[in-house]
Amino acid sequence: METRTETEKAAKAEDNGADDGADRSGTEAGTEAGAGAAVDADAAGGSTTETATEPEPETAAEPETAAEPETRDAPGVGQGAAAIVSAGLGIVSLTGSWLGTVAAARETLVGQLETAADSTVATQVKEIYGDAWQTSALWGGLFALTALIVGVAVLVRPAFGTPGAGQAPWIKSVAWAGVALGAIGLLLAVLKYTDVLLGLPAAG
C-alpha cells in the first residue's frame, strides 16, 4: 500500500511539474511576443515620426524669364508715317516749296541774261516770266505726283501684307487726304504749265 501511495504521489508530482512547465512556457512565450510587438511598434512609430518630420526638399523657384522687348515695330507705324508724308507733300504742291521758288528765280535770271535788249516785249515776257512760272508749276507737279503715289501705296498696302491685318482708320483718312491733295496739286500744275490757268498776259 505504501508503495502504491508513493507511486501515485510521484505521478501527481510529475503531472503538476508538467503543468507548471507548460504554464511557464506559455507565459514566457506571451511575454516574448508582447516585447517583440512593442519593439516593432516602436520601430514603426519611429520610422513614421521620422518620415513625418523629415522636411521635403524645397525646389528652388525658377526665376521668371523677363519678357523680351519688342524688336519689331508695331504694325501700322510705317504706314502711318507714309500717310502723313503723302499729306505733307500734297500741301507743299499747292503752297509751293523753297526748291520750286529757287528754281523759278534761277530761270528768271537765265532769261534776263539770254534775252537781248532789242527783243520784243512778248519775247522778254516769255523768257523772263513764262519759263519761270512753268518751272514753278513743274516742281509743284512733281511734289503732287509723289504725294499721290505715296498715298495710293499706303491704301493698297494691306492687300500685300499679312492676311486679316487691318489698317487703322486714321491712317486711311490721312492717306486719302494725301491722295486728294496730290490729285488737286497735279491738276493745277498741269493747267499752269500749259498756260490754261493763269497764262501769260498778251503783250500789246
pLDDT in tens, 181-191: 999 999 999 99
Helices (H), 54-158: 77-95, 98-114, 121-125, 131-156
Question: Which residue is associated with the grid cell 520750286?
Answer: 100
Angle at 156 between CA 150 and CA 158, to 5 degrees: 120
pLDDT in tens, 7-63: 556 556 555 555 555 455 544 544 455 445 444 544 444 444 444 445 555 554 454
The pLDDT score that the predictor gives to residue 90 is 94
Cβ proximity of 186 and 142 under 8 Å:
no
114 contacts: CB under 8 Å, gap ≥ 6 = 127
The pLDDT score that the predictor gives to residue 16 is 57
> What is the Cα–Cα distance from 139 to 89, expressed in whole angstroms?
11
pLDDT in tens, 156-194: 988 776 665 677 889 999 999 999 999 999 999 999 999
The pLDDT score that the predictor gives to residue 39 is 44
| Overall pTM surpassing 0.75 (yes/no) | no
> What is the Cα–Cα distance from 53 to 38, expressed in whole angstroms?
22
